[in-house]
Amino acid sequence: MSKGKHSHSTAPRLRILLAEAIAMGPGKAELLRAIQQHGSISAAARAMGMSYRRAWLLVDTMNRSFVEPLVGTATGGSRGGGARLTPLGTEVLRRYEAMESKAESVLQADMDDFRRWLRPDGPLPASGEDAPS
């Protein structure tokens, strides 16, 4: 699984559920990496082509899902605040990435079969849709 890239690959996608919420998944892991790299939620959102509100809601869900916040924020000041992964956030991201790698390794043969069975150019249009020109 490629880190930090949304794609139409046939890689398995791991999600950690807490009740009805997705506590951790590929998009949230990508957001944590972007926060780690850029030092703020708004800069991470811009880098991902995501609205600040969407990024903030994802961070809020993660922070409420774990026993401690994964992202800490600072507001205001001359440098305008920022965000950083907490020690737990760093560990959760590291462990999630390790789990993704394990899943990919274990499922490699099955995924190879699915890759052979799936259309290489994507799904056919649904009935009633125009075919691409």
pLDDT of residue 81: 74
43-46's contacts with Cβ under 8 Å and 24+ in sequence apart are 44/83
Instruction: Give the residue, 44 or 132, on which the prediction is more confident.
Output: 44
Which CATH number describes the domain made up of 16-104? 1.10.10.10
Compute, in degrees rounded to 10, the torsion defined by CA atoms 24, 92, 58, 108.
-40
> Domain limits of the chain?
16-104
Which token pair is 114?
A: 């699915």
pLDDT digits 0-9 by tens, 56-76: 999 999 999 999 999 999 876
Confidence band, pLDDT 50/70/90 cuts, at residue 131: low
Closest CA to 48 of 62, 29, 68: 29
| CA pseudo-torsion sign 16, 46, 89, 64 | negative
| CA pseudo-torsion sign 34, 108, 22, 67 | negative
pLDDT of residue 11: 77
